[in-house]
Structure 1
């Protein structure tokens, strides 16, 4: 790739870019200099090597901690890709199946029109439970058992398999309930005990004590941002998922809310996506060739009511001709470029739309359309 160019530690942005990636540096510097970004990381991996690593702004609201390569941040729905992996590991082990009714191992769930719901329908956001029911409105954000039970008792909004809408907050609780019933384990245990070490990820569901000092504080770009979102109707129950004071609490960071609260770094996400499709890569080694193919294959194309546009879902990712990707509300995104063969990640603590990640993608020649709920 040629000699890497360093960036002055005195500059608002620090890190490095390899030859040929100067446009990425220029785009990121503009975001920081213009105040559109107050804390973020960018990473690009190609051919087994990190060719871009950029850190900009601050990790804390008080502007005392500079953003570092090891800064952890919550990327919201980017978390869902790793919930999917947990479910597929249980399928790999024979504890679950993709196409048999969930009720076969979680009988309590199989009521009120959910008798034939399958794990594949859950993983492709067609299970008919894209949000928690009204009956869950009084539950605390961290009441895992109560929120799972609300999904058990609720009727689906539409017959499973007949419509599409990202299960914005419910995805992790559904998979966690399935894992508890069918595999005798939890989402947190399976991710942190099996997936994270197998893939070498600097990522956590439930940040350990010794990593808490690395976590970035979330902040709004505009206090009105949560109310302007297309996805707002799907994010209202339970109260507090977009409350930055709650999100910045130790209790939240050490909890497991699978749909949104993985905490990770840009480097970890870009490296993961850079090896996502490899025939001899760690994801295929983890899942086996058949489930790896299932993970990446297009499963359903339709108008996603939460996104508000027509998209194609795999098991856990959004896919089009140019990329395999996943984004999160607030602006974080990661993707594998099918065109340019690099893995990329933009993670941010400043909650806004995806225009910042899109500008980084454009500097790489990628199109980041439709990666998350704006």
Structure 2
């Protein structure tokens, strides 16, 4: 397979690394994009978008990047904060009384957004629920006690993040995560990204595939991803029903170019994210909120409201290998989105070709 696309002067190393990943068989379908100073300086595609290998990967191919989705669920929540529906630091239960039971009475939106709400996974009672039973999964979080006292420990809310935000938006603003993202956030940021892919874009979605059939079992995060069953099952995640549903923690569908462009504007004082949220919330979105050992990641990590941050980057990735980031050192936005579910070594090698380091995830 030949890597297609372009690189501006000075970015040849990115093409070389990407071609090496393809030649070694480590990549079978992916896109790479880098934006700097308002223009795309790298746009590369390789491999296939479908399991049958009949559709070449295109610059506008959409793929599900798993937890990269969470950053955009965060933006939907912050729109509600912007509009006065719920402050970041008041108990959610004041607006969603049913949620405020069994130790969750004082849980705040800030704790949810920084993965300190004590619900990093769905409770055992949700094991029999279907992956797309949105109401049932949300209600299971309402009834459950937190695994730890909210605010006292850290663990990425791997699958629950979107359902918690969706429940908060329903209770406080009379709307849903999908509606706020697709009707407010996506148009404001001019994003080719979707919670619930529309009919006319389904033909652009890439099929996920395993690099190793045992990949779901081998993940460090596997214990947090077992309920509900199916999030790591490519037969489910490659279905139109899944692609057109909203599972806010993981199932945004987007392109590498869209994600690199988004991250390239993320910190701009006159950029679309700041315009959307206002200066105070924009600053809060990007500021380090907590640094601690994250049980789900298995490492020490610094969270902002929706991103991971260290001295070199503001970033978010997802299981399977996709990642996007803003380089605080080099001032470029980058994205590596893949359909071949494996580790993050491929994105790390692309980052290294740009002078960035994806291996550091904590500020101290």
| Structure 1 residue 251: Cα displacement | 0.2
**1:90 match: secondary structure:** helix
Q: Give the Cα separation in 2 of the matches to 1:105 and 1:311.
A: 31
Over residues 344-370 of structure 1, what are the superposed CA-to-partner deviations in whole Å (9 max), with x where a residue is unaligned?
A: 000000000000000000000000115
Over residues 16-46 of structure 1, what are the superposed CA-to-partner deviations in whole Å (9 max), with x where a residue is unaligned?
A: 0000000000000001111100000000000
Aligned to 2:193: 203
TM-score of the two chains, using structure 2 as the length reference: 0.99
Aligned to 1:8: none
Over residues 147-182 of structure 1, what are the superposed CA-to-partner deviations in whole Å (9 max), with x where a residue is unaligned?
A: 000000000000000000000000000000000000
Aligned to 1:15: 5
Aligned to 2:172: 182
Q: Give the Cα separation in 1 of the matches to 2:169 and 2:129.
A: 22
Stretches (4+) displaced over 2 A: none
1:1-374 aligned within 5 A: 12-369=2-359
**2:54 match: secondary structure:** coil
Q: Give the Cα separation in 1 of the matches to 2:46 and 2:163.
A: 34
TM-score of the two chains, using structure 1 as the length reference: 0.96
Q: Give the Cα separation in 2 of the matches to 1:216 and 1:13.
A: 17
The runs of 5 or more residues in structure 1 that have no matched partner are 1-10
**2:201 match: secondary structure:** helix
Aligned to 1:3: none
Q: Give the Cα separation in 2 of the matches to 1:66 and 1:35.
A: 16
**1:345 match: secondary structure:** strand
The runs of 5 or more residues in structure 2 that have no matched partner are none
**1:44 match: secondary structure:** strand
Q: Give the Cα separation in 2 of the matches to 1:362 and 1:250.
A: 36
**1:166 match: secondary structure:** coil
Q: Give the Cα separation in 1 of the matches to 2:296 and 2:124.
A: 17
Q: Give the Cα separation in 2 of the matches to 1:289 and 1:51.
A: 28
